[in-house]
A and B are shown apart, each in its own frame.
Chain A
């Protein structure tokens, strides 16, 4: 059984509290999207899940069959991550497949993301959308059990966002996809659950099907207002 378990998680940077006693459980086959405005604590939560920073109190663990999942079994995209400019997409994915210690069919992955024609082009010559797709291909190359994506749609047009969502949807079975964003397009079309975070406090986890009738923007602001009132 695969799950992400966050218990009483609090994080301070110096004297500033950025996460405040978070509790959350995400299960296998969930496509969980965490919504929140800028500086609400989304990236810090991702960094703690990926063990880039340590929590001040509490814990955030990715568990598989009762044991903590190895870090190399988690695919990820960091906020504002850019692939290495001087590599080609092929070299970039080859490097990461070596880092994950796997033998991947890189050509196949490039075809899947529509990058095969640019396989030997230097990455700095690719469009922003293709660079993002390459980051997603990197996150998926090792066929990880868990995908953690921090704002992967920053600066992408609607068509590309939809394409990326489609590729993620195809990967969802038997996995957990944990994604953060402050962009609300397509959120209810692809996610199974939505969470909202504001000023480091978690406002709740909601089933997407329960809010489908409402507009996501209305729902989001309703929840924010509930908390402030």
Chain B
């Protein structure tokens, strides 16, 4: 699978610098918007719902970025490859559909995480250059940043996994795109709704970590089961 991942990274990401630049700038704009709009003081003793919502919303930026950009890339990395018979070639070389889809997902995640980290460094650098100390930049606390860097992207990756599955098994690209955005919309809306309805501490200390782990396991299990049940000739041939 290493060879497949290497090819994906080289072909889709290194060979397309505009993808790289576009995602980097988009990330940076969202991060700067977060940095400039979240309250620049310590957490109040009894945070109001407006505060909770703003914090929770900013926590979901990585989720949106991963799921949104993932969804945008699926046509290129899965649908067009299917038309060009790339998957058939790989199956003929004895790669299973599961390995093929996983190599696509892993390389996309590596790319997204790399750009995400790079834009985060730029964000920190901009604030340092403007004279702010670390304590002012990372004032939200360890738990917030743990969620921001790990658990929120994990939920984004889970959505991305399901989007990849839609594009992999559905023959019509428009149907895949509809289901992907529908699924992305439903999950994001639900999480925002829960963020607004629950206490801030519960949201960052319990809900996001537990939900992210359940969702990543659930999405991988779904891919595994669906690809076991459905025969490749039902989704790879005749596109």
In the assembled complex, which residues on chain A have CB atoms less than 8 Å from the CB atom of B91?
50-52
Contact A86 B11 (CB under 8 A): yes
- Which residues of A lie under 8 Å from residue B231 when comparing CB positions? 53-54
In B76-122, which residues have CB < 8 Å from any A CB?
84-86, 88-89, 91-94
Q: Once A and B bind, how many residue pairs between them come within 8 Å at the CB atom? A: 57
**Contact with A71, one of B11, B92, B236 (Cβ below 8 angstroms):** B92
Chain B residues with CB under 8 A of A87: 11, 15
Contact for A78 among B11, B15, B92, B232, CB less than 8 A = B92
B194 adjacent to chain A (CB < 8 Å): no
Q: Which residues of A contact B10 (CB under 8 A)?
A: 91
B113 to chain A, nearest CB (A): 23
In the assembled complex, A178 has its CB within 8 A of some CB on chain B: no
A86 to B14, CA, bound (A): 11
In the complex, whether B237 has a CB less than 8 A from a CB of chain A is yes
- Across the interface, do B93 and A82 meet the contact criterion of CB distance under 8 Å? no
Q: For the complex, what is the distance from the CA of A79 to the CA of B237, rounded to whole Å? A: 11
A5 to B193, CA, bound (A): 62
Residues of A within 8 A of B232 (CB): 52-53
Establish whether residues A78 and B85, one from each chain, have CB atoms under 8 Å apart when the complex forms: yes
Give the CA-CA distance A78 to B85 in the complex, in Å. 7
| B interface residues, tally (CB under 8 Å) | 20
Complex CA–CA separation, A224 to B229 (angstroms): 40
- The answer to whether B94 and A82 touch across the interface, beta carbons within 8 angstroms, is no
| Chain B window 192-210, contacts with chain A (Cβ cutoff 8 Å), 1 for yes, 0 for no | 0000000000000000000
Asked if A13 lies at the interface with its beta carbon under 8 angstroms from chain B, I say: yes
A138 (CB) vs chain B CBs: closest residue:
B89
A95 within 8 A of B: yes
B233 to chain A, nearest CB (A): 4
A166 CB-CB contact with B under 8 Å? no
Specify which of A52, A76, A98 is in contact with B3 (CB 8 Å cutoff).
Answer: A98
Query: A76 and B11 in contact (CB under 8 A), knowing A81-B84, A99-B3?
Result: no
Contacts of A98 in B (CB 8 A): 3
Excluding A72-B94, A78-B92, A86-B15, 10 further A-B contacts by CB distance (< 8 Å) are A13-B233, A47-B233, A47-B237, A54-B231, A74-B92, A76-B92, A78-B85, A81-B84, A81-B85, A87-B11
10 contacts between A and B (CB under 8 A): A47-B88, A47-B237, A52-B92, A52-B236, A72-B93, A78-B88, A81-B85, A86-B15, A87-B11, A91-B10
Name A's B-contacting residues (CB within 8 A). Answer: 13, 47, 50-54, 70-72, 74, 76, 78-82, 84, 86-87, 91, 95, 98-100
